[in-house]
Amino acid sequence: MNEVILNDHNKQEYPPMHSAEHLLNGEMARRFGCGRAFSAHVERKKSKLDYRMPRQLSDEEIRSLEEYVNSVIAADVEVTEEYISQDEAMTRFDMSRLPDDASETVRVVHIGGYDQCLCAGVHVDRTSEIGVFRISSTRYQDGVQRIVFKLTESK
């Protein structure tokens, strides 16, 4: 179930980590208005996301983000997908990262009512498959907040 899957670009994706990345990205955009990460490195052992922000997140904000993601994981919500036209997607999403050769129909991944975004990647079926989310380190430098996170098996 949590196997590594190769996508169309032969990049290995680990569905639990990719789904956790969606949850953190969505909450960062909602809570801090910084949008989704402008740079992401998502791998099985650890992942990092970079956000442009006017200030460093406090330790309390970091703990709160970690608690939020774990609460959505514990809620065991369904991860679904829908297919919509690019025209409709333009009214709902930032299209700047969509490849030039993308088809007229694009895929939207929904994690319950917690997150939705354009994505061609592989995800878990339910958030309970993600495991325990832990922010292992953060760094703020030159207007960029980096968040590094890991997953451990559910207890």
Give the residue from 128, 136, 86 showing the smallest Cα distance to 107. Answer: 86
In contact, 51 and 38? CB cutoff 8 Å: yes
Out of 19-28, 61-70, 101-110, 133-142, least confident range? 101-110
pLDDT of residue 2: 40
Q: Is residue 148 part of a domain?
A: yes
Instruction: Please say if the pLDDT value at position 27 is more than 90.
Output: yes
Give the total number of structural domains in the chain. Answer: 1
pLDDT tens-digit readout, 58-108: 999 999 999 999 999 999 999 999 999 999 999 998 888 888 888 899 999
Instruction: Please say if the pLDDT value at position 9 is more than 50.
Output: no
Mean pLDDT of the 133-154 span? 95
Domain boundaries, position 143:
10-152
pLDDT of residue 49: 98
Distance CA 71, CA 64 (A): 10
Q: Is residue 100 part of a domain?
A: yes
pLDDT of residue 48: 98
Q: Is residue 119 part of a domain?
A: yes
Burial letters 55-81, b for 16+ CB under 10 A, else e: eebeeeebeebbebbbebbeeebebee
Average pLDDT, the chain: 90
Q: Does the CA dihedral 99-100-102-107 come out positive or negative?
A: positive
pTM over 0.95: no
% of the chain exceeding 70 in pLDDT? 91
CATH number for the domain spanning 85: value is: 3.30.980.10
Q: Is residue 74 part of a domain?
A: yes
Q: Is residue 127 part of a domain?
A: yes
Distance CA 10, CA 143 (A): 32
Mean pLDDT of the 22-46 span? 96
Q: In what order do the strands lie in the sheet with 144-152?
A: 39-42, 47-52, 144-152, 132-141
